[in-house]
């Protein structure tokens, strides 16, 4: 059990589009943390009367829980509302359909305090039905890195994905930084990039206590072109603004990959609404063709498909329509 004078942790949980059972599993797992000096901020993001009442019920069971009720504005809007109300020395995010093991934050927070970390990356357990796997899938001990090194690891996804869930942020490092609500995809990456750009000490702590629960039917293939376009916009911004040459090269490769995926999604949609973006992405991929061909973040199939789309779209369309990423 962590000493009661340990710094307070604000745990932010947006609630929307989940069942009462999932929310209960999530909140109860947070309440059972070994680290007890926490506040839990549930954000009812226009989730409906039943879920709103269910959230309010928790406040009567544990005085560390409070609820923000607001109109639906999306996960970024919900997190921003909670960030404005958070009082902890550290902040973390938990998605309402996930859950966390009791030991998830205790040792990582003590480590963060000892080295004065601005951000702490942690691993996670990926759950899909009965199957589980740890991310990252390599055995690493705790270590410290600079903000630039952290951005490199983030872009390479060597320490997990781009999501903010389960990571620890010193509140002082978040001053004036909020989620951009104009992005429907890669908004977590955009947020973390801005945080890491002003961070001097970043840590990795080898915990896989965060259980990220994948729902059936949530595959990347189902993401709409509209969402993908906002994701491409994130990578374009990162690429245009990055000054570090090595990091800029990494971002360029990811940028090409996201444009390729978005372009394929547009063709598969059979919609005529994306003519401007299709022309733009094809021109950009031709310009960055060398980076596309050597990026390790695209499969050979995607590379070939994108080359055909960029140069011979009329011939390739029927073949590409049946391919999966």
Does residue 4 belong to any structural domain of this protein? no
d(CA 312, CA 75): 39
**CA 47 – CA 63 distance, rounded (Å):** 22
The CA–CA distances, whole Å, from 89 to 118, 171, 203, 225 equal 11, 5, 16, 39
Work out the end-to-end distance of the chain between its first and last CA atoms, rounded to an integer number of angstroms.
46
Residue 158 shares a structural domain with residue 264: no
> What are the two backbone dihedrals, phi and then psi, of residue 106, each rounded to the nearest 5 degrees?
-60, -60
Question: Cα–Cα distances in Å, from 35 out to 2, 80, 172, 191?
Answer: 5, 24, 20, 26
pTM of the model: 0.91
Residue 221 and residue 322 in contact, taking contact as beta carbons nearer than 8 Å: no
257: Cα separation from own chain's centroid: 17
Flag whether 207 is in a domain. yes
Pair 236, 172 in one domain: no
- pLDDT by 10s per residue, the chain, length 325: 555 568 999 999 999 999 999 999 999 999 999 999 999 999 999 999 999 999 999 999 999 999 999 999 999 999 999 999 999 999 999 999 999 999 999 999 999 999 999 999 998 999 887 788 888 867 788 999 999 999 999 999 999 889 999 999 999 999 999 999 999 999 999 999 999 999 999 999 998 899 999 876 444 446 889 999 999 999 999 999 999 999 999 999 999 889 988 888 888 887 788 888 888 998 998 888 888 888 787 788 878 877 777 777 545 555 555 554 4
CB 292 within 8 A of CB 255: no
Give the end of a domain, one of 213, 246, 263. 213
Residue 2 lies in a domain: no
Number of domains making up the chain: 2
Map 21-51 to HEC letters. Answer: HHHHHHHHHHHCCCCCCEEEEEEEECCCHHH
The token pair at 12 is 């932010």
Same domain, 65 and 97: yes
Same domain, 135 and 261: no
Neighbours of 312 (CB within 10 A): 10
Q: Which of 73, 309, 114, 284 is nearest to 205 (CA)?
A: 114
Domain boundary among 172, 188, 213: 213
Q: For residue 17, what is the domain's CATH number?
A: 3.90.550.10
* Structural domain range at position 79: 9-213
What are residue 142's DSSP bridge partners?
Answer: none
């Amino acid at each position: 059990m962590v000493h009661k004078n340990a710094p307070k942790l604000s745990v932010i949980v947006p609630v929307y589009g989940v069942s009462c059972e999932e929310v209960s599993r999530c909140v109860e797992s947070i309440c059972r943390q070994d680290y007890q000096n926490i506040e839990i901020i549930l954000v009812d993001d226009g989730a409906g009367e039943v879920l709103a009442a269910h959230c309010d019920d928790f406040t009567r069971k544990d005085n560390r829980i409070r609820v923000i009720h607001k109109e639906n504005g999306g996960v970024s809007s919900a997190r921003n509302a909670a960030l404005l109300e958070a009082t902890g020395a550290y902040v973390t995010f938990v998605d309402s359909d996930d859950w966390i093991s009791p030991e998830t934050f205790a040792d990582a927070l003590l480590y963060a305090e000892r080295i004065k970390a601005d951000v702490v990356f942690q691993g996670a357990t990926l759950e899909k039905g009965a199957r589980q796997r740890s991310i990252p899938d390599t055995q690493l001990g705790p270590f410290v890195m600079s903000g630039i090194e952290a951005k490199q690891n983030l872009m390479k996804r060597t320490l997990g994905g781009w999501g903010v869930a389960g990571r620890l942020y010193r509140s002082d490092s978040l001053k004036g930084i909020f989620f951009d609500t104009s992005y429907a995809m890669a908004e977590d990456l955009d947020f973390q990039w801005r945080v890491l750009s002003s961070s001097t000490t970043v840590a990795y702590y080898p915990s896989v206590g965060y259980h990220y629960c994948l729902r059936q039917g949530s595959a990347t293939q189902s993401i709409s072109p509209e969402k993908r376009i906002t994701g491409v916009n994130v990578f374009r911004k990162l690429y245009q603004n990055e000054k570090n040459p090595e990091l800029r090269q990494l971002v360029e490769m990811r940028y090409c990959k996201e444009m390729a995926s978005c372009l394929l999604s547009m063709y598969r949609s059979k919609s005529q609404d994306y003519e401007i973006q299709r022309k733009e992405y094809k021109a950009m991929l031709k310009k960055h063709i060398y980076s596309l061909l050597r990026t390790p973040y695209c499969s050979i199939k995607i590379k070939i498909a994108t080359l055909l789309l960029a140069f011979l779209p009329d011939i390739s369309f029927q073949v590409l329509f049946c391919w999966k990423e």
